[in-house]
Amino acid sequence: MNKRQFLGAAAVAGTFPIAGQAAQPSGRGPTLLTVTGAIARGNRGPLDPALDQMMHKHQVTFTKAYGFDYADLQALPAQTIRPTLEYDGKPHTLRGPLLTDVLARAGAMLNDKTILVLRAVDGYNVELPLAQARARRFIVATHVDGNPMPLGGLGPLWAVYDADRVPDMAALPLAQRFTACPWALYHVDVKS
């Protein structure tokens, strides 16, 4: 199966109740972001290789996870940033909770050596030191220019920071500023 077929199948599978069952806390909207690893709280059980197909194909494993639906993310305090994006060279307004607030809600056990593995639906992942996530004030963007970010664009979630406000990053060409920012974010693994 090629990447396009896989992503299409994953998107369609999420619309059927049985496909979303393992990753979805009871009575909630579909899970958009799953946090695993060194967390104190969980609201779902272990990975189910049959129903958590995308995570299974990306070799994600866990015994406990915290799943966030859209309402959970919207309930956290929102931050607004306005970076110049590499895709069109224009500033855009992005809004969403701080990544560290999302981790706190999941009860992440953080320390000076914590590494966050941020994973996108296409399998792209980056290892981001917690210190960098804090210093750059990474957000989990849910909105761009006042609109929810759609799947198939940069969303529905994007781990991103305002590169224009970080001097060492603002000095780089646009195409090099966002390599630590996976769009279509769906998983964060906390390694402490």
Structure tokens at 43: 């609201």
Give domain limits for the chain.
3-191
Percent of the chain with pLDDT over 70: 86
User: Among 2, 42, 3, which residue's Cα sits nearest to residue 23?
Assistant: 42
What does residue 17 show for φ and ψ, rounded to 5 degrees? Answer: -55, -45
**Tens of pLDDT along 46-105?**
999 999 999 999 999 999 999 999 999 999 999 999 999 999 999 999 999 999 999 999
Q: What is the pTM of this model?
A: 0.86
Amino acid at the residue 37? G
**Tens of pLDDT along 6-25?**
444 444 444 433 334 454 44
Omega before 156 within 30 of 0, i.e. cis: yes
What is the pLDDT of the chain when averaged over all its residues?
90
- Topology of the domain comprising 3-191: Sulfite Oxidase; Chain A, domain 2 (3.90.420)
pLDDT at 28: 81
Q: Mean of the pLDDT values across residues 114-120?
A: 98
**Tens of pLDDT along 33-43?**
999 999 999 99
CA pair distance 70, 140, nearest whole angstrom: 11
pLDDT at 15: 40
CA pair distance 138, 162, nearest whole angstrom: 8
CA pair distance 182, 125, nearest whole angstrom: 7
Contact 23, 186 (CB under 8 A): no
